[in-house]
C-alpha cells in the first residue's frame, strides 16, 4: 500500500503508518504543495491521500489519482476543501479529525475573549512603546466576564467546550443558536435562541459553527446592526461565516466594540487588508489548534483513519454527505 502525505506532519502518524508497512511519499515542506504539483505527483500511484485543509482535492486531483485511490484522510476537522460529490462518485472513502482538537480550540476562544476584555495587546504595546510611567486609575481599562451574557453560534464539541470553560468565569447567561435545540445544552445551562433573539442581548458572541450554505456570510451588516455597541465578536470556526467588509465598517464606526478572528478569508489575510488597520480587531493566523497535544493527536487519528479504510473498514471520522 502506498500513501501520499501533502505536508510535513508530527511524527506519530508517520510512525504508525510505517509500522504497518505502508510505503510513504511526503511533500517535505511546511508550506502547502502547489495544486499543479499534487496533480502531477499522484498519477495513479497511491492507495491513500493524507491531506491538509489547505489542499484543494477537486476533480482534477481525483482524475490524476485514478482508480487506485481508495482513501482520502484530511488532518483537519473542516472538509470544505474536499469535493465530496466527486469523491463519492468514485466510491472513495474520506475521513476527517472530527473527534480531536475541540478542547484546544475552545481554550483558544476563551484566550481571545480574555485578550479583548483585558486589553492585553494594548497593554503589551504600551509597555514596548515606553508609555508605562506609573499606575493610573483610568488607564487601559477593560471589562470582566462576570455577569456577562455570552452567545455561541454552534453548540457542537467546540461550542460546548467554550460554554464549559466560561462557566468558571461566572458569566450571567450562556445562550446558543444552532440548527436545532440539543439536549446536552442543559449540562452548561445554555438557553436556545434564534440568532435574531440572541444577538441583541449578548455582550460576547462566539462563532463555533461549520461553514455551510446557511452560515456563509451570516455575520453581515444586518447581524452587526442587531448587536450591542459594546459587544465583542470572536471567530474560531471559518472565516467565511463573517462578511469582512461589513465587519470592518461595524468596527470602524463602533457599531460593535471589538473582534478577534483566528480565521479569515482569504488565509493568510493580506497585511494591507483594511481589518489590519483597526486597533479594535485582533487577528491571529489560524492557530486555535496549534498545540503539540492536538497536532500529535490529529496526525495519529488521520493515520488511523487511513489504515482503517485501506483495511476495508469504516473509519471513526468518516465523512458522510
Active centre residues (catalytic): 286
**Residue spans of beta strands (DSSP E) within the chain:** 2-5, 23-26, 48-51, 71-74, 93-95, 149-153, 173-177, 190-192, 204-207, 232-235, 258-261, 281-283
**Exposed/middle/buried for residue 164 (C-beta within 10 Å: 0-12, 13-18, 19+):** middle
Of 191, 245, 257, nearest to 220 (Cα)? Answer: 245
Count of residues in the chain: 321
Give strand pairing partners of 249: none
- C-alpha cell of residue 295: 497536532
DSSP string of 205-230, one letter each residue = EEE-----TTTTT-BSHHHHHHS-TT
Amino acid at each position: 500500500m502506498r500513501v501520499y502525505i501533502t505536508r510535513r506532519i508530527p511524527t506519530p502518524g508517520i510512525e504508525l503508518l510505517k509500522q504497518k508497512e505502508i510505503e510513504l511519499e511526503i511533500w517535505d515542506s511546511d508550506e502547502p504543495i502547489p495544486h499543479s504539483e499534487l496533480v502531477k505527483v499522484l498519477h495513479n500511484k497511491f492507495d491513500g491521500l493524507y491531506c491538509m485543509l489547505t489542499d484543494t482535492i477537486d476533480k482534477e486531483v481525483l482524475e490524476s489519482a485514478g482508480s487506485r485511490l481508495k482513501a482520502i484522510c484530511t488532518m483537519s476537522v473542516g472538509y470544505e476543501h474536499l469535493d465530496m460529490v466527486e469523491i463519492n462518485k468514485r466510491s472513495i472513502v474520506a475521513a476527517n479529525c472530527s473527534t480531536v482538537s475541540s478542547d484546544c480550540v475552545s481554550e483558544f476562544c476563551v484566550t481571545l475573549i480574555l485578550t479583548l476584555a483585558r486589553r492585553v495587546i494594548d497593554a503589551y504595546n504600551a509597555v514596548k512603546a515606553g508609555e508605562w510611567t506609573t499606575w493610573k486609575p483610568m488607564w487601559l481599562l477593560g471589562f470582566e466576564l462576570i455577569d456577562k451574557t455570552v452567545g455561541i453560534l454552534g453548540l457542537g464539541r467546540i461550542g460546548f467546550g467554550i460554554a464549559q470553560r466560561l462557566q468558571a468565569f461566572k458569566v450571567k447567561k450562556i445562550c446558543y443558536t444552532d440548527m436545532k435545540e440539543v439536549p446536552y445544552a442543559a449540562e452548561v445551562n445554555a438557553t436556545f435562541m434564534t440568532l435574531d433573539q440572541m444577538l441583541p442581548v449578548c455582550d460576547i458572541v462566539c462563532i463555533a459553527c461549520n461553514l455551510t450554505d446557511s452560515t456563509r456570510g451570516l455575520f453581515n451588516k444586518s447581524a452587526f446592526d442587531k448587536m450591542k455597541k459594546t459587544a465583542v465578536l470572536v471567530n474560531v470556526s471559518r472565516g467565511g461565516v463573517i462578511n469582512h467588509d461589513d465587519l470592518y465598517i461595524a468596527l470602524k464606526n463602533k457599531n460593535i466594540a471589538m473582534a478577534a478572528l483566528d480565521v479569515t478569508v482569504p488565509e493568510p489575510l493580506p497585511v494591507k487588508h483594511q481589518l489590519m488597520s483597526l486597533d479594535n480587531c485582533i487577528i491571529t493566523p489560524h492557530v486555535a489548534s496549534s498545540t503539540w497535544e492536538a497536532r500529535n493527536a490529529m496526525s495519529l487519528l488521520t493515520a488511523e483513519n487511513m489504515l482503517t479504510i485501506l483495511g476495508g473498514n469504516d473509519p471513526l471520522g468518516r465523512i458522510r454527505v
